């Protein structure tokens, strides 16, 4: 197997991806054919369940895009099942300590680097037995830093062997810092981002950001993040409808729900 996004990150290339909240195979396939480097299927806040992965991941198989799954919780069974369904990367929310980072790594890696149980149903169909010897080096294990506790332990979390990178959920980080959600210009937020980027640089790890918009994604890459999401399937659809109204010349008919920028979900 080859994780195309990890290959890019390891070579120092910056990477843009997208976020999938909707359990629709046609939207997933469209995103996979759009030029994104990776797609994250969201089991934490997205409108999908594990059973949806068994349809969504096959829908993008064969496309040059890396399937990543954000699990709902840092639980070995959730992580293992997502990997067995074909995920090549796992984003683990609310990692607040070295112990929690180690738990995520253990669930992502086969022995001797972890304690992932063997039963990769879809990967065996696609890769064969070679998957078992390659998975440890080709699965991306990404820890989300979203709280003050996570920030306090960020250097130790980044130093943990088997953690490939840190991922920022900016709004939850705002909540964790006690500042207004979405106040990304706040000094406390800027200092937190600097701490996360610094920890990644010191320990040779990748830094990722959930971007609510292409502009935020671009800013993240300029700041030093390795990868960022351009938006979500929902925001892409919303922006497409808004743009269609604008191009029609009937801007006065623009839907009211699109006239003010809205977060697409709680990240």
| Catalytic (active-site) positions | 45
89 DSSP β-pair partners: 68, 140
Which strand (E) or helix (H) includes residue 208? strand 206-209
Q: What b/e string do you get for 102-128 counting C-beta neighbours within 10 Å, with b at 16 or more?
A: bbbbbbbbbeeebebeeebebbeeebe
Q: Helix 76-84 to helix 50-60 angle, to the nearest 10 degrees?
A: 30
Q: Which residues have CB under 8 Å from 79's CB, separation 6+?
A: 71, 90, 92, 104, 107, 108, 116
Q: Which residues have CB under 8 Å from 153's CB, separation 6+?
A: 96, 97, 98
80 DSSP β-pair partners: none
**Local structure of residue 116 (DSSP, 8 states):** P
Contact between 99 and 122 under an 8 Å Cβ cutoff? The reply is: no
Tokens of 93: 């929310």
Which strand (E) or helix (H) includes residue 138? helix 130-138
**Local structure of residue 257 (DSSP, 8 states):** G
Task: Report the alpha-carbon distance of residue 132 to residue 151 in Å, rounded.
Answer: 34
Coil/strand/helix, residue 109: coil
């Amino acid at each position: 197997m080859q994780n195309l996004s990890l290959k890019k990150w390891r070579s120092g290339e910056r990477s843009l991806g997208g976020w999938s909240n909707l359990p629709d195979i046609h939207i997933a396939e469209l995103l996979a054919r759009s030029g994104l480097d990776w797609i994250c299927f969201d089991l934490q806040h997205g409108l999908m369940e594990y059973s949806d992965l068994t349809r969504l991941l096959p829908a993008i198989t064969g496309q040059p895009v890396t399937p990543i799954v954000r699990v709902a919780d840092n639980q070995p069974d959730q992580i293992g099942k997502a990997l067995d369904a074909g995920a090549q990367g796992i984003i683990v929310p609310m990692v607040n300590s070295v112990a929690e980072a180690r738990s995520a790594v253990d669930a992502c890696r086969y022995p001797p680097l972890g304690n992932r149980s063997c039963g990769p149903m879809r990967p065996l169909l696609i890769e064969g037995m070679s998957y078992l010897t390659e998975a440890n080096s080709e699965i991306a294990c990404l820890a989300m830093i979203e709280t003050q506790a996570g920030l306090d332990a960020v250097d130790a979390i980044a130093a943990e062997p088997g953690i490939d990178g840190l991922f920022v959920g900016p709004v939850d980080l705002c909540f964790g810092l006690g500042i207004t959600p979405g106040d990304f210009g706040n000094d406390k937020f800027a200092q937190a981002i600097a701490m996360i980027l610094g920890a990644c640089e010191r320990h040779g790890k990748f830094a990722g950001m959930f971007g609510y918009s292409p502009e935020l994604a671009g800013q993240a890459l300029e700041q030093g993040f390795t990868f960022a999401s351009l938006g979500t399937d929902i925001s892409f659809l919303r922006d497409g409808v808004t743009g269609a109204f604008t191009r029609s010349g009937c801007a006065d008919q623009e839907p009211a729900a699109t006239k003010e920028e809205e977060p697409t979900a709680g990240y």
